[in-house]
């Protein structure tokens, strides 16, 4: 068997990647309550919202208000997502100390979603990093669609490596490689990460996986074998696609934490307490999530 | 990355392990139609029913009738499950050429479900093998709860190895190691299979996995790294637990075939055609299955 790490960091992204797709508006108090529940469950890095266009993503319109309702704890880091400099500036104004500047590796996806070519998007990414650094914010550079895109199919690993180098040169604190549409598989994960991980990055690499095609935890196994120790996860496996009934979303925090626990890999996450948050949301939203473990607890 | 096989055999068990838990009676014609659809999708080994007590499992009461409605094809093997010699004899009477004689590795589970101690169950297993061999049936010995049991927790690998040796000595054609309640994890899979696979078994070893806790395909990865090339799967991931809402069942045929295809591992399975069968059943049963891929096709 491969050598696996002794401990892994799970970064909770449900309050951003999970909530944003829900059409029913989640009250700000409930959002803050869930985030507090996740802190209580041992999660120490939580992506709490995104600073994006509220007309395009109404669920995230209360981004600043969510932040104001959260207690500050020295051992917990809150992050948020931004897609352009305006988002970074709004996050700064709201007092956030860490931002994820997210850019797509797909030219077509970038043009359709952000009205920019790939090269313009890379420049936008570097500009976001510059703006964030000016005010001493920590920055994660997020590369969306790193393993494939519904428009372009597979994305060449070389392109992702080139983008990563660009963002590294601009000065980032973390790098996040995202399988936005669940198109990664153990081979493509190994291929990209075996090329990326031995580089002298000097920053932690996070893998952001979706379970759309059921390969989420198989990809986690492949990634850990390459040395990855940071994974984005969402409570209950929220974050499915709005166009496919009950489509799976992000890999579930409970399931991933259970995988780690079963392999004696430390996460510090109390699975039952995360499941309580999932059930509270499930009740409010009137729907089941794709995660497995939370149902059993 | 580990060395993975060039091809893998998926053994479809949905018509047995999936159907048996459905409370709505599936008409015999629909069962036969689904099985024909699975053959058409390229599955070459299909567990079509079980010869068990119809009072305990009413859905399987038409076992013989299902067999009678199936076309015989030289390149397709039908199997069925039996839990005692009476079942084996009924299968013989129905003209079946291959049987899976299934015994639990958990003493408590065996006492509760079959009214036998573990040692009595092992004797029963050997007797089933003897009866089957008398009439030239091929025999798979199936070891249930090999990775754990809801009553006893983890099951010692040594016990499973001992049972396997007993059944090997009695003369079997195949061995199936079953994670009946989804309690296996990549470590326990590696632990048991690293001990089992190097033995001079002389017969193929199948792994029967459930995705109850979300680790199904992560366990497949660990098993392939140990040299396992035969997996039981069920269309749509049917076969959940009747006591947990929408609990996951067997690993899904479509998802497992997709994992293999993504890793360039040959299965001969047409995923879209399997998904058509899942959707047909989904419509009839009025419920969704836990599998991911079939929803996307």
Q: What is the pLDDT of residue A248?
A: 80
Output the DSSP codes for B88-145: HHHHHHTT-SEEEEEEES-HHHHHHHHS--HHHHHHHHHHHHHHHHHTT-EEEEEEET
For A181-208, the pLDDT digits (tens) are 899 999 999 999 999 987 767 899 999 9
pLDDT exceeds cutoff 90 at B202: no
On whether residue B252 sits in a domain, the answer given is yes
Nearest to B288 among A217, A222, A246 (CB): A246
Q: What is the pLDDT of residue A112?
A: 87
**Nearest CB to B214: which of A2, A245, A258?**
A258
With CA atoms as reference, the chain A residue closest to B243 would be A296
Closest residue of B to A293, CA-based? Answer: B213
**Is B3 part of any domain?**
no
Confidence of residue B230 (pLDDT cuts 50, 70, 90): very high
Tell me: pLDDT of A243 over 60: no
Residue A244 has pLDDT above 70, yes or no: no
Interval A78-121: pLDDT, tens: 999 999 999 999 999 999 999 999 999 999 989 988 889 999 99
Taking alpha carbons only, the member of A145, A126, A146 closest to residue A134 is A126
pLDDT score, position A181: 87
In a domain, B1, yes or no: no
Range of the domain at B220: 9-296
Residue B132: pLDDT band (50, 70, 90) is very high
Q: Which CATH number does the domain housing residue B119 bear?
A: 3.20.20.70
Asked if the C-beta of B142 comes within 8 angstroms of chain A's C-beta atoms, the answer is no
> Number of A:B CB contacts under 8 A?
114
Residue A3 lies in a domain: no
Between CA A269 and CA B40 the distance in angstroms is: 45
Average pLDDT of every residue of chain B: 94
Q: Is residue B121 within 8 angstroms of chain A, CB to CB? A: no
At A114 the pLDDT is 80
Mean pLDDT across chain A: 94
Number of domains into which chain B is organized: 1
In angstroms, the separation between the Cα of residue A155 and the nearest Cα of chain B is: 15
> Region B154-178: what's the mean pLDDT?
95
Lowest-confidence pick of A117-126, B200-209, B284-293: B200-209
Q: What's the pLDDT tens digit per position in A264-274?
A: 999 999 999 99
Is A226 within a domain? yes
pLDDT above 90: percentage of residues in chain A: 88
A1, part of any domain: no
Say whether residue A242 is in contact with chain B using an 8 A CB cutoff.
no
Q: Residue B1 has what pLDDT? A: 61
Residue B76 reports pLDDT greater than 70? yes
Using a CB–CB cutoff of 8 Å, tell me whether B211 touches chain A. yes
CA distances (Å), A120 to each of A51, A104, A114, A293, B237, in order? 20, 11, 10, 42, 43
Quick one: average pLDDT of B29-37? Answer: 98
Strand partners, B42: none
- Chain B contact for A293 (CB, 8 A cutoff): yes
User: What are the two backbone dihedrals, phi and then psi, of residue B244, each rounded to the nearest 5 degrees?
Assistant: -120, 125
Per-residue confidence (pLDDT) for residue A39, from 0 to 100: 98
Q: Is residue A160 part of a domain?
A: yes
- Judge whether B241 counts as a catalytic residue: yes
């Amino acid at each position: 068997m491969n050598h696996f790490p002794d401990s892994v960091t799970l970064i909770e992204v449900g309050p951003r990647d999970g909530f944003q797709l829900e059409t029913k508006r989640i009250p700000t108090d409930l959002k803050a309550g869930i985030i507090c529940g996740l802190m209580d469950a041992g999660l120490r890095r939580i992506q709490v919202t995104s600073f994006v266009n509220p007309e395009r993503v109404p669920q995230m319109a209360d981004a600043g208000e969510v932040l104001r309702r959260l207690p500050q704890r020295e051992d917990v880091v809150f992050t948020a997502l931004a897609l352009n400099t305006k988002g970074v500036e709004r996050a700064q104004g709201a007092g956030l100390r860490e931002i994820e500047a997210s850019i797509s590796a797909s030219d077509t996806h970038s043009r359709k979603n952000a009205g920019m070519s790939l090269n313009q998007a890379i420049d936008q990414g570097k500009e976001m990093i510059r703006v964030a650094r000016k005010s001493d914010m920590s920055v994660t550079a997020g590369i969306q669609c790193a393993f494939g895109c519904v428009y372009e199919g597979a994305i060449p690993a070389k392109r992702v490596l080139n983008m990563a180098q660009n963002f590294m040169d601009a000065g980032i604190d973390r790098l996040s490689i995202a399988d936005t549409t669940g198109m990664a598989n153990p081979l493509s994960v190994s291929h990209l990460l075996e090329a990326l991980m031995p580089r002298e990055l000097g920053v932690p690499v996070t893998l952001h996986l979706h379970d759309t095609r059921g390969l989420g935890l198989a990809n986690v196994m492949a990634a850990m074998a390459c040395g990855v120790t940071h994974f984005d996860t969402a409570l209950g496996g929220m974050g499915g696609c709005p166009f496919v009934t009950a489509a799976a979303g992000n890999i579930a925090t409970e399931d991933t934490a259970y995988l780690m626990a079963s392999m004696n890999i430390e996460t510090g996450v109390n699975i039952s307490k995360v499941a309580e948050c999932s059930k509270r949301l499930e009740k409010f939203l009137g729907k089941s999530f794709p995660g497995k473990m939370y149902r059993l607890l």
